[in-house]
Each structure stands twice: as structure tokens, then as C-alpha cells.
Structure 1
Amino acid sequence: MSTVAEVCQLLETFAPAALAEEWDNVGLIVGDGERQVNRVMTCLTLTMDVADEAIAERADLVITHHPLPFRPMKQLTTATPEGRVLWKLIGAGVSIYSPHTALDSAGEGINYQIAEGLNLVEIEPLVPHDPADPTSTLGAGRCGAVLEPTNLARLAANTCTLLGLDHVRVVGDDQQPIARVAVACGSGGSLLAAAMDAGADALVTGEATFHTLLEARTAGVAVVLAGHYASERFALDRLAEWLAAQQVELTVWASRNERDPVRLVRK
């Protein structure tokens, strides 16, 4: 039977905490490393619905992509939404682990999975973890070449297929030629400059600010916006599958109750 610490060590082999951004909060956030683990649930974000599911399904450990807490807390009380979630999970003896940007930047992490799913070749990090090592596959974002000439409309359609979406938002002309694609999951607009430096014709990301999108349009770089949730949530299903394959004695599943908080309303 595994302990919390042993499962954390295993997760480190897939997404080392050293890859996380300096501002991030990764690793074991809540819990006792010596406590035994039988049941593990993954999720993108720890909301009350997700916490209730973890407790109802008797999870011993929750692996959440987005850390909770993310910022330092002076008090842990039920007076705040995140305090209520944490208090409930602690009371039920549920540990919390977050890989966050370490999982984004891992060799086969979220950004690599998107790049591979879009059939890009010669994939490399947008921002290498070790700039002194040109062969490193670790770092923020990804960039690669398309297998055959394509355009923005086809890239958008391929993104929908990969992430199970019926729509994405785009910046650029549908027929704009695309030969090189940058990928940055989540709030990836901050990597636009790196994408341009890498010679990308398009950036596939979750979300970006309005002014970043204007900058991309001015620079002639197409943008595909899949939504923050969709650009990352699929990887938590895959992480659950990977962990279950490594530790067959564990019961591992991705949250079944988690939903994108943003929904589309048509006129």
C-alpha cells in the first residue's frame, strides 16, 4: 500500500517541481506524507463540487492542477470560499497535491500533449528550462512545424477535435497559411513574444488578454483560443490513467463532477 509521500515522489518523476515557475505553489500542499493512500482523484480546480465528490468517493488524495491555496493565507477559516473547501477536505483527511506549471512544462506535460495531438513535428520548448542545453525537452510552452501546409481554419478544427470542442475563438483570417505553431495551455497569452521569437505563424492557447490579441493581429500571428478549462482539463484524465498504470493497487479517476465554469449562450 502506498503512502502520500510515495505517490508524490512518483508524480515528481513525471512533472518535477523544479520545472515550476518561481511564483507557483506546487507539491504536497495539504496532508501527512506518512498517511496511506488507496484512492486518488485528479481535477483541474478544487471547487466545492469537486471537494464534495472527493469526500463522497472516499479519496485519500486529490491531485489538482490549480493549487489551493495559490497565494499565502494569513487565516484558514470558512469565511472565504477557498477556506471552506480546504477546511472541508482537511476535516475529511484528504491530502492535496498540485503539479501546476511543472505539469505544463514537463517533457510529456500538457503543452507537449497538445503539440503532439496537433501532429506537430520537431517539437521544442518555447522557453527552455535550461537555455544552456539546446537538446532539453523541458520548459514552458511548445513550438513545432506542421506535417503539411495548412491554414488557420484547419488548425482551429484540429484543435476542436483534439480537445473535444464544438467551437474555438480565433484571431486572424481563416485562409491564413500556417507552417509553424506555438502552444501555451491555460493563460498562455504571456508567451506571445516567445512564440513570435520562435517564428510561429499561430499560437494555440487557452486565453489571452484583449491587448495581447491586438498585438498578435498587428504582428500577423494567428491565435486559437480554446478556453482555459478545455486547454488543460483533458490532461488530468491522462494523468489519472498514467498514475493508475504506475500503481496498480491504487484506484485513480478524474473528477466526474468538474465542469467548465464558462458556458456558451446562443441568441
Structure 2
Amino acid sequence: MSTSLQDVCQHLALIAPLALAESWDNVGLLVGDRASAVQNVMTCLTVTPSVVTEAVESNVDLVVTHHPVPFRPLSKITTDSLTGEMLWRLIRSGVAVYSAHTAFDSAGDGINQSWAKLLHLTSVGPIIDPEPGHELGAGRVGVLPAPTVAREVIERCVSHVNAVGPRYVGPIDRTVSRVGFACGSGGSFVAKAHRRRCELLITGEATFHQCLEAESFGMTLALIGHYYSERFAMERLATQLGAHFPELNVWASRNETNPVHPLG
């Protein structure tokens, strides 16, 4: 008996319950026929032209992307825009698209929780409290097994994902105990992390003014890159899906790369 798109969607919703997604997000099955059969599944961080080409040339049936496409409602799907062109190619080739995005960020076995596990944090909780009726909130903050110099904590995270060009704000050589994570664009978490007594917040990127905010709080803010803070989880998700559906061919995109490069 073949595996249907609905079968895979249901399992993805167990890994990252869609109710955890932010209200502004666009999650779940975004393109596709739930009754269709699935054989080849590819995960990625973001759907780009090169990822679309890989999907089409590899006869992919389902792309599981972290960042949703479309993200905002479209009034038309034409090749006049980049998003429209990518969607048109995917639809013509019968490629479905699924995204869990912020639901996966916040899930019990999601991206921020993975960072907390990497550092063996204890007393782990959300940076932002969950909505009424939800068990989990956004971001994670917890206590290190032993007080550690902030630089060493950051270097361990950078090494884990082979991040290039990390940056930081605030004191780097002080000892910290309470560490927070907000994958992706986590600058908006700064004030709430400060209220959680977070001494070091690790995220992908933040705006200039969010960096100033962290500095004013005396907080250390590590910017390891949006791509690096999340892409590793899509590789892990591919492994998880492959283990649960051994009859499927599942892999993380081989064409996807970080679009941001250091000058030197």
C-alpha cells in the first residue's frame, strides 16, 4: 500500500502541532492533493529557484520547507513574480509543499528545544508564554549545567552547525548561567528574554535597534546567522521522516546553501 500525502502531513503535524504556530503564520499543506501518492520527499529551509529545480529534476513529490511559500496570500499565480514562478513550476510538476515554520520552532522536539538539548539546559521554559490552551510557548531559556564563559557557549553552538561569520553584542568574556534561544529572526525576543533573566540570547539575526536594546540591558546577544540557526533541523527532520517512513526516499536539499557570505 502506497504512502499518501495525507499520511506524511499527519505525521508532520505530530512532530510540530500546527496549533503552536503564530497567528500570522501560514502553515500546514500549502500546495498539493492530500490523496496523492508520495515516494520522494525533500526537506529544505527555504524554497528558492535552485531548490525548485532540484525538486523537479529529482521527481520529488513533496517539499517540506521551513519557511512557507506562499507566505502571504496571493491574488494570482503567474510567472510575473518570483514566488508565482516557483509555485507554477512546482504545481506543473506535481510537487506538493508543506511548512510547519513557527510550529516547528516551538514544538517539544522542535528547533529551539534542540538548541536547549545541545547545551544540556535544565529548568527549560519558553521565553514567550504560550497562548491560552497551549502547552508550549516561543523560544527557550534554561540554566547551563555549570556557569560558563559566554564566548565558549557561543563557540559550541557555532561549531555544532559550522556557522560562518557569527557576531555578538554585549559582554563576551563574562560567565553566564541562563541562556536563551530564538532561532531565525529572534531580535524581537530581546526584551522578553531580559525579563526571563536571560544573560545570553542566541539567535540567527536581529536588527540594529534590537542589538542596541540588548546592549542597553547588559545582555550578551549572539547572532549566528538565520540559515545556520535553523537549517540543521531540516536535515534532522529528513532523518526522522525517513525512519518513520522507510518505504520513502527522504533527503535534505543538496542544492540549498546560505545566501549570505563573509567578505574575507
TM-score normalised by length of structure 2? 0.97
What is residue 188 of structure 1 aligned with on the other side? 186
Deviation sequence 1:208-228 (CA, Å, 0-9, x none): 110111111111110010111
- Which one is further off, 175-184 or 121-130? 121-130
Q: Find out whether 1:80 has 2:81 as its counterpart.
A: yes
Q: Do residues 147 (structure 1) and 148 (structure 2) align?
A: no
Q: Deviations over 1:99-120 (max 9, x none)?
A: 1000001001000011111232
Corresponding residue for residue 246 of structure 1: 244
Structure 2 counterpart SS, 1:185:
strand
Provide the C-alpha distance between the structure 2 equivalents of 1:118 and 1:87, rounded to a whole number of angstroms: 42
| TM-aligned CA distance change 1:131 to 1:179, over 3 Å | farther
3-state SS, counterpart of residue 109 of structure 2? coil
Give the residue type in structure 2 aligned to 1:202. Answer: L
Secondary structure of 1:180's partner? strand
- Structure 1 segments, 4+ long, off by >3 Å, are 130-133
- Which residue of the partner structure matches residue 66 of structure 1? 67
Conserved 8 A contact 1:156-1:170: no
- 1:166 CA displacement: 4.4
What is the aligned partner in structure 2 of residue 107 from structure 1?
108
**Whole-Å separation in 1 of the counterparts to 2:248 and 2:195:** 44
Superposition deviation, residue 129 in structure 1: 2.3
Measure the CA separation in 1 of the matches of 2:109 and 2:11: 15
Residue 198 (structure 2) pairs with residue 213 (structure 1)? no
Between the aligned partners of 2:261 and 2:122, the Cα distance in structure 1 is: 33
Aligned twin of 1:97: 98
Unpaired runs of at least 5, structure 2: none
Amino acid at match of 2:89: K
RMSD of aligned C-alpha atoms? 1.2
**Which string of whole-angstrom CA distances, capped at 9 and with x for unpartnered residues, describes residues 113-149 of structure 1?**
111112322211112325678xx4x221000111111
Classify the secondary structure of the residue corresponding to 1:127.
coil
1:232 is the counterpart of 2:233: no
From 168, 175, 178, give the equivalent of 1:177: 175
Counterpart Cα distance in 2 of 1:185 and 1:253: 22
| Amino acid paired to 1:59 | V
Taking the aligned partners of 2:138 and 2:171, their CA distance within structure 1 comes to 27
Task: Report percent identity of matched pairs.
Answer: 48
1:173 Cα deviation from its structure 2 partner: 2.3
Would the aligned equivalents of 1:126 and 1:182 in 2 still touch at CA under 8 Å?
yes
- C-alpha contact (below 8 Å) 1:216/1:222 kept by paired residues: yes
Counterpart CA distance in 2 for 1:231 and 1:25 is: 20
Tell me the matched-pair count: 263
Instruction: Return the letter of the residue paired with 1:240.
Output: A
The CA deviation at 1:84 is 0.7
Distance 2:123 2:70 in 1: 37
CA distance in 2 between counterparts of 1:164 and 1:122 reads 27
Q: Is the 8 A contact 2:126 2:139 kept in 1?
A: yes
Structure 1: gaps (5+ residues): none
Cα distance between partner residues in 2 of 1:259 and 1:111? 21
Distance 1:124 1:209 in 2: 25
C-alpha contact 1:152 1:172 (8 A) present in aligned 2: no
CA displacement, residues 71-115 of structure 1 (integer Å, 9 cap, x when unaligned): 011111000011110000100000000010000010010000111
